[in-house]
Structures are given as structure tokens and as C-alpha cells.
Amino acid sequence: MVSIKNIFSSRSQEEEAFFYAVKKILGFTPQSLKWYHEAFTHRSTQAVNSEGQPQNYERLEFVGDAMLGSVIAAYLFSMVPEGNEGYLTKMRSKVVSREHLNELGRDLDLISLVKTTVPIDQFGENIHGNVFEALVGAIYLDRGYAWVQKFVQNRVIDPYVDIEKLEGKVISYKSLVIEWCQKHKKQFRFQTYEDNGVEAMKHFAVKLYIEKEVVAKARSTSKKKAEELAAKRTFYKLQEQMAPHTDQSTN
């Protein structure tokens, strides 16, 4: 006899919609939705469990970061047998860079499922990558490591990971400029200051000096972003000199 439970779902319409949305993203059926609810809950909701512990995606980010790094490390170890530890570490960093994780989260439109009391347009870019990591953590706690591997293979490695392209990808232009200057014994410094422009949001301006000459200027909403942008402009200005330094040898 077919049970009534199998005919009529005990889930509400909202829960049913969430279940199918998660299933579509995963590519397989979730077993325990509680982990996914947590993965898509922002701290602004102040949600807690029965023991009063916070229930938001921040702790799941920690688990997801470790699981994602592990799967990518195993993949690179297998695919690039000649790569030494330094090479493999740099390549993994490129795959799991904040910029790339944000791209993954945006492509999957994860933010559309996030429960928050803060307007979506007030979030910074990192919300996309944070939720993506939390989702990976939820998959691990729900289905285990093998299903994390399946998800990462289908959603990250197959569509995005190209070894040859990754070898030439720059993670941080600031680090690249600093390494190049140190290697060639060139003096450099970033002069950063608050830029009181016409925008309502605070901006910072930066000048990048190499050998006492201003090579590039930039401005952005944080010192870190302004320095990175100035370094990027420096790289393209001195590309012929600096490009060989980006080559990541596997030996």
C-alpha cells in the first residue's frame, strides 16, 4: 500500500520551492535541508537554533573552504604530476581565489536564495563567494566528501579549470609588482590617502612609486582595492618587462 506521505508532501510550498532550487544547483537530491537553510542564511537575520547558537553561513564557510581546497588539490596533484609543491599551491590559490569564488557564486545566482534583513544591493562582492563556500560545506555535512567531489567537478573544474590558462593568470598584481621590484632591486612604495571626492561613499587614492617616479595612480572604495588597481595599471604599463615574471614553472 502506498503511504499518504509519498502522495502528499509534508513540506510547505515555500519549503518545496527551496528544495527544488537547491536540487537544481547541486545536480543531485539533498537529503537534509537544514544545512542548506543555514548555508543561505545571513547573520543579519539573527537566527539561532534550539540551543541559542547562531545559524548562518559563516561557520559553513570554514568547512566549505577546507573541502573545496582539498578537492582542487587532489585534482591538480593528479593532472600535473610534474608540478612541485610551490606550483601546485599557486595553482590551487588561483582556482579558489576570492575573485573566482565570487564569479562561481554569481553564475549560480546563489544570492537569490539568501535570507537576510539587509538589502541585497548593500552587500559587497564577496557575498557571492562566501555563500558558495558555505554551500560546499553544506554538501559535505549533508552527503559527504564523495558528493562534494562530484559537485566541484561538475560546477567548478569542468566548466572553469583550464591548466594552461591558469598558469598565466595573475592572482594579485600588487604581489607581482612587489616581487618584481624586489627581484630587480628597485625601490617602491604605495602612497595612499583618503580621497574626499563628490561620491557619498568614502574613497581612497593611491600613487605607486618605483625608483621615486609615480608609475600609476588609482582610486577605489578601500585602500586594498586602490593599491591593487594601481599595481594592475603598473603591470600593463611595464608589461614587456614584467610579463616574463608571471611564468609559473612546473619544475
C-alpha cell, 236: 600593463
Does 14 qualify as catalytic in the annotation? Answer: no
48: alpha, beta or left, given left = phi > 0 and alpha = psi -120 to 50? Answer: beta
Neighbours of 192 (CB within 10 A): 19
Q: Which of these is catalytic: 65, 167, 227, 228?
A: 65
Are 72 and 90 in contact, with CB atoms under 8 Å apart? Answer: no
Are 223 and 203 in contact, with CB atoms under 8 Å apart? Answer: no
CA–CA distance, 96 with 160 (Å, rounded to integer): 11
* Interstrand relation of 203-210 and 188-195 (parallel, antiparallel or unpaired): antiparallel
CA–CA distance, 189 with 193 (Å, rounded to integer): 13
Does 199 qualify as catalytic in the annotation? Answer: no
Residues labelled catalytic? 65, 133
